[in-house]
């Protein structure tokens, strides 16, 4: 049973890869979220929203395409779907 779960949370070398230090797209997204809470309305808010959306999309795409464990690829796909649904619903 443990063998079946291993590819979900470990890379091909057996390293646990669910929790890692944030990579650049996540740091940019977090910075955009903070900036968006500090500015209200107008071009700065739209810019922060666009940068955050682009960074989160980049992170999710990279996880789907290159995620080192199944759970990370699934998480990336869930975020991509949530982003699309969120934009479609407005």
Query: What pLDDT band is residue 1 in, cutting at 50, 70 and 90?
Result: very low
pLDDT more than 90, % of the chain: 62
Query: What does each C-alpha distance from 51 to 14, 27, 40, 45, 80 come to in angstroms?
Result: 35, 11, 15, 10, 16
Query: What pLDDT band is residue 40 in, cutting at 50, 70 and 90?
Result: confident
Enter the pTM of the model. 0.81
- Give the range among 12-16, 34-38, 58-62, 63-67 with minimum mean pLDDT: 12-16
CA angle in degrees (0–180, nearest 5) for 72-74-80: 105
How much is the pLDDT for 6?
64
Task: Tell whether the model's pLDDT for residue 3 goes beyond 70.
Answer: no
């Amino acid at each position: 049973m443990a063998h079946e779960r291993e590819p979900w949370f470990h890379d091909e070398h057996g390293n646990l890869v669910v929790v890692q230090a944030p990579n650049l797209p996540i740091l940019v997204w977090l910075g955009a979220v903070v900036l968006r809470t500090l500015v209200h309305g107008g071009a700065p808010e739209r810019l922060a929203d666009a940068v955050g959306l682009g960074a989160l999309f980049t992170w999710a795409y990279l996880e789907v395409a290159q995620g080192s464990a199944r759970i990370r690829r699934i998480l990336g796909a869930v975020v991509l779907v949530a982003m699309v649904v969120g934009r479609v619903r407005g």
